[in-house]
């Protein structure tokens, strides 16, 4: 394995990690923004108010996207294992 293959492997791993983490992070960010806006409008500055809706949204996003996330992880792992003989 030369340096360009190692860099490509690392780049693919980072891209897969970003793809796997993005649905949950985007759901949390969107709900956090909505709750923050609602708190600013109503002047309720309680930190615990934002926690539960974000947690629920993140769990729902994870539940909804789990088949796709597992498919991406399995696809990457399968490609990684199948290319081991080619890189030796």
Phi, psi of 13 (to 5 degrees): -65, -40
Q: Which residue has the tokens 């709900």?
A: 31
Q: Mean of the pLDDT values across residues 62-73?
A: 94
Whether residue 17 has pLDDT greater than 90: yes
Return the pLDDT at 88.
Answer: 63
Q: What is the pTM of this model?
A: 0.78
pLDDT at residue 69 greater than cutoff 90: yes
Distances (CA, A) of 69 to 13, 19, 23, 59: 14, 8, 9, 14
Question: Which residues lie below 8 Å from residue 57, measured CB to CB, with a gap of 6+?
Answer: 27, 28, 30, 31
Q: Using CB atoms within 10 A of its CB, is residue 27 exposed (0-12), middle (13-18) or buried (19+)?
A: buried
Q: Is the pLDDT of residue 66 over 70?
A: yes
Average pLDDT over residues 78-87: 84
Summarize pLDDT for 35-62 with one digit per residue, the tens: 989 888 888 878 788 889 999 999 999 9
**What's the total number of domains in the chain?**
1
Q: Which domain holds residue 22?
A: 3-87
């Amino acid at each position: 394995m030369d340096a360009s293959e190692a860099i490509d492997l690392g780049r693919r791993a980072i891209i897969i990690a970003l793809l796997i983490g993005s649905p949950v992070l985007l759901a949390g960010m969107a709900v956090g923004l909505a709750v923050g806006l609602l708190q600013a409008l109503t002047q309720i500055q309680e930190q615990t108010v934002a926690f539960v809706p974000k947690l629920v949204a993140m769990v729902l996003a994870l539940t909804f996207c789990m088949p796709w996330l597992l498919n991406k992880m399995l696809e990457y792992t399968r490609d990684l294992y199948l290319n081991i003989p080619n890189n030796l």
